[in-house]
Amino acid sequence: MSIISRRPSGWYERDAGGSAEDLEPTPAELAAIEAEWPLIEAELALLDAEIAALSAAGGPSPLDWRRVGRAEAHVTRVAARLAADAAARKGAA
């Protein structure tokens, strides 16, 4: 049996027979998660807004839709900023 994980570089398989240390994220993987954390946080805020809109009594209000729209715009801004930062690092390398 193997465990399939997602790395920033793509998919890979890791043998489940290894030690617990082998299953821990590497420092590079932790750094990648830390770098992407603003986007993860923005996506969680969008999910919260969508859940609030969908579970609102009587249906979503205009305020709920504005909240979803602001959250979507925030996700887009953060994703664009991360992409620009990644392109700048790649260009500097």
Domain count, the chain: 1
Q: What is the pLDDT, as a whole number, of residue 26?
A: 92
In a domain, 87, yes or no: yes
In a domain, 2, yes or no: no
In a domain, 61, yes or no: yes
Q: Are 46 and 78 contacting, i.e. CB atoms less than 8 angstroms apart?
A: no
d(CA 45, CA 73): 11
SS3 19: coil
Identify the domain containing residue 71 by its residue range. 25-92
d(CA 30, CA 25): 6
| Residue 15 binned pLDDT confidence (cut-offs 50, 70, 90) | low
Q: What is the pLDDT, as a whole number, of residue 89?
A: 87
Check pLDDT > 90 for residue 71.
yes
In a domain, 62, yes or no: yes
d(CA 72, CA 50): 10
In a domain, 12, yes or no: no
In a domain, 50, yes or no: yes
Check pLDDT > 90 for residue 84.
yes
Kindly report, residue by residue over 17-63, the tens digit of the pLDDT: 556 666 888 999 999 999 999 999 999 999 999 999 999 999 999 99
Element (H, E) at 44: helix 27-54
